Amino acid sequence: NAGVTQTPKFQVLKTGQSMTLQCAQDMNHEYMSWYRQDPGMGLRLIHYSVGAGITDQGEVPNGYNVSRSTTEDFPLRLLSAAPSQTSVYFCASSFAGRTEAFFGQGTRLTVV
């Protein structure tokens, strides 16, 4: 049972480049979410999804897009990377938005 799998683990981008962070879960969870973690600021919600075909914005959505075509996958797209998007990104899933969240291993992104 793999849980929540994120790829890549590390990424360096140049300003203006685009990329997709991948997230997959094998627990049949309906609720999935993306967070960014910056020093001293905890985890801030970027986007979330309550099921396939349904997504919504979190606290810090600007510069990011998501889609949820299947229950298992919830990719996060950076359309035009900026240095302010340098952060550690975590994907999480839960049975419902109010239950225990399982986090992926994280992606450390640096934008230069």
Partner 1 sequence: GQQVMQIPQYQHVQEGEDFTTYCNSSTTLSNIQWYKQRPGGHPVFLIQLVKSGEVKKQKRLTFQFGEAKKNSSLHITATQTTDVGTYFCAGRNYGQNFVFGPGTRLSVLP
Closer Cβ to partner 1, 7 or 105, answer by number: 105
Closer Cβ to partner 1, 11 or 17, answer by number: 11
In whole angstroms, the minimum distance from the beta carbon of 98 to partner 1 comes to 6
Task: For residue 103, count CB atoms less than 10 angstroms from its CB and return exposed for 0-12, middle for 13-18, buried for 19 or more.
Answer: middle
d(CA 58, CA 31): 13
Site string (31-60) toward partner 1, x via CB under 8 A? --x-x----xxxxxx--x---------xx-
HSE, side-chain direction, 13 A CA sphere, residue 24? 7
Q: Which residues are near partner 1 by CB under 8 A?
A: 33, 35, 40-45, 48, 58-59, 90, 92, 97-106
